[in-house]
Amino acid sequence: MIRENLIRQIKQKGTCLCVGLDTDAAKLPLNLKGKPNAILEFNKQIIEATANLCVAYKINTAFYECLGAPGWEIMEETLSYIPKGIFTIADAKRGDIGNTSERYAKAFFERLNFDAITVSPYMGGDSVKPFLEFKNKVTIVLALTSNVGSADFEQLKTGDKYLYEQVLSTSQQWGTIENMMYVVGATKAEALMTIREIVPHHFLLIPGVGAQGGNLQDVLKYGAIKDEVGLLINSSRQILYASNGEDFAEKARDEAKKYLH
């Protein structure tokens, strides 16, 4: 159902944009800084301005967890403000021994009711499978990330494959195209052709377009699935901080329009 809904929304809205709500209190517009509930108010206005121009929202939990209990409340309220039917991702990058992963899954799938969560696969299948056991939820596995440090491990050769290619190949035994996606950084667009040979039908979450230098046209050219697109292209800073004035929501909307295709 989630996959079908995503494909339908992408076609209806003409975009595969995922707006990253990585809200940094230090970067809030001047008219909101220092006010009670400033982060929540900022998030609400961003959502109102972009909801009909995106198919997903990704909340990077670190920006909320660092605030302690109030941050969790803001995250929960932000999540509840997102219109029904729009895909919601907890960018939490969890992954631990089985019984711990099970509790992470409960926290984000049951307590907070996200549609999806990002996970690290590097402790192996038993650290990822507890997330996949939840019905109508999606587990997004880190494959080839957009940061410079991805060269340290993800791009190491293991035999005749890069490690990220091994992750893609092995993990397909754990889930399906319905309940599993992959993170592939837009700054690695040249690798998308090879990645699509390994995972031709899985949705890919693509961070790194915009502020990190990724190119939207290259991502669509090399990563899209015919008739389905199969991509969620995330933009955070470029949209959130398009303006630090009172027109921040309007400018965020203008940036979101750039992702129409």
Residues annotated as catalytic are: 93
Cα separation, 202 vs 204, in Å, equals 6
Taking the C-alpha atoms of residue 80 and residue 56, their distance in angstroms, rounded to an integer, is 14
Phi, psi of 87 (to 5 degrees): -65, 135
Give, in degrees to the nearest 5, the angle at Cα 232 between 254 and 45.
Answer: 40
- Angle, CA 132 vertex, CA 101 and CA 190 arms, to 5°: 100
3-state helix, strand, coil in the chain (%, to 5): 45, 20, 35
In angstroms, the CA 110 to CA 2 distance is 16
The DSSP code sequence of 86-149 is SEEEEEEEE--SHHHHHHHHIIIIIIS--SEEEE--TT-HHHHHHHHTSTT-EEEEEEE-SSGG
Q: What sign has the CA pseudo-torsion 11, 54, 148, 166?
A: negative
